[in-house]
Amino acid sequence: MVKIAIVGIGGFGAAYLHAVSVLEREGSACLAAVADTRLEAFPEQVATLREHGVALFPSHTALMDSGIAVDLMTMPLPIFLHAPLTIECLHRGKHVLVEKPPAATLAQAVAMRDAALASGKHCGVGFQLSTSRWVSTVRDLVARGALGRLTRVAALCLGERDDAYYARSPWAGKLRLGDTVVRDGSMNNPIAHYLHLLLRVAGAVDGRATAHPVAVEAELYAGHRIDTEDTHTLRAELDCGATLHFTGSMCSPGEAYYAVRIEGTAGSITLQVFPESPTVADFPGAEGMEFPPIMEEDGPGTTTAIFRNYVDVLDGRAPALACSIEDTLGFAEVVEMAFNGERITPLWNTAHIERSVNTLPDGRESHLTHLRGIASYGREAFASGALFSELGAPWAVAPQRVTLDAVMR
């Protein structure tokens, strides 16, 4: 049985606690220890953990210094802590699962990969859609040439966040905390899964886990009063010959709308994730073909599946991690190129922004920020492959083209 430790039980830590509880019921793993610098902030969870005999520690260092038997350290932590804690745990002989994104910078992600290689331990990243049966099906179709030559992979993610979301922690919505790089932007946090998905699908062209960017044009905007971006559109030239187009905003009013489109010279595949809708496949031989869901409860496409795969690897039931640190370097490269020069256009003090009151579950009031026209511009960008500036959005600023060579120097 694999013994698991969780470092950080606030925020997304709840999903990690749930995932381990599922594996405990399945009999493949157990929660041996929890570490958090703010245990006193979670009295109910702490009481439950104590009842179940889980060892509690005030830090990851105290946990490892205790000598308690742990096979896998898992870390749903703030972005800027991913690299230093992962590298420390690897050097101390522990396998590691860190939440997405892999790190705040490309250099940090590379250092994590190097630490994993040097330690001989596994380092996984919680890009949960790496376990999705839908993604595997599409990768297989791309690899077989069912869509002809792959030409474009695209995703659109439209949603909304209120001020409370950015007030939840000192690092939320920040580019930096002092000298520490954070990069808590929409593409690097809430909708990062879909950027990674696109790179994963494109990697199937030549049998790799991920494609890599050659050059990126990115437009970054801040509708909320934050340092980083909450709205973006980017276009990347990939080393497999296809183009990647990724558009997202946390300033779009109403129901969330997420969609993915894969295009080739012989056809296309389109999935509307939210609101949920069946996959539309248009290529020779697609008639009557059924696609699995992109996410299945506690199954493929979820955080639970990432944990299940990791445990299976450690127990010898699976050959490889669904998403290793190596598999995320293409993602880290795109983000590094997009944020190059930190050219973020603030829109929060312009006439293009609308604000409205949002009542929280506890009765407190917060405010929603909406960018005028973002839903229509987003859908047009998704359909055409154009950037906001090319569509004539009144708030848009033309981007610079950044090459991978430039950011690697």
One domain, residues 54 and 161: no
One domain, residues 273 and 316: yes
One domain, residues 90 and 230: no
One domain, residues 212 and 277: yes
Task: Give per-residue pLDDT as tens, 174-202.
Answer: 999 999 999 999 999 999 999 999 999 99
Kindly state the tokens that stand for 37: 């610098």
Residue 106, pLDDT score? 98
Distance of alpha carbon 6 from alpha carbon 14, whole angstroms: 10
One domain, residues 292 and 379: yes
Task: Give per-residue pLDDT as tens, 305-354.
Answer: 999 999 999 999 999 999 999 999 999 999 999 999 999 999 999 999 99
One domain, residues 275 and 288: yes
Residue 408, pLDDT score? 87
One domain, residues 98 and 137: no
Q: What is the CATH number of the domain that holds 45?
A: 3.40.50.720
State the residue range of the domain holding 72: 2-127
Distance of alpha carbon 166 from alpha carbon 154, whole angstroms: 27
Boundary residue ending a domain (95, 112, 127): 127
Q: Report the number of distinct structural domains present in the chain.
A: 2
Mean pLDDT of 83-97: 98
One domain, residues 90 and 228: no
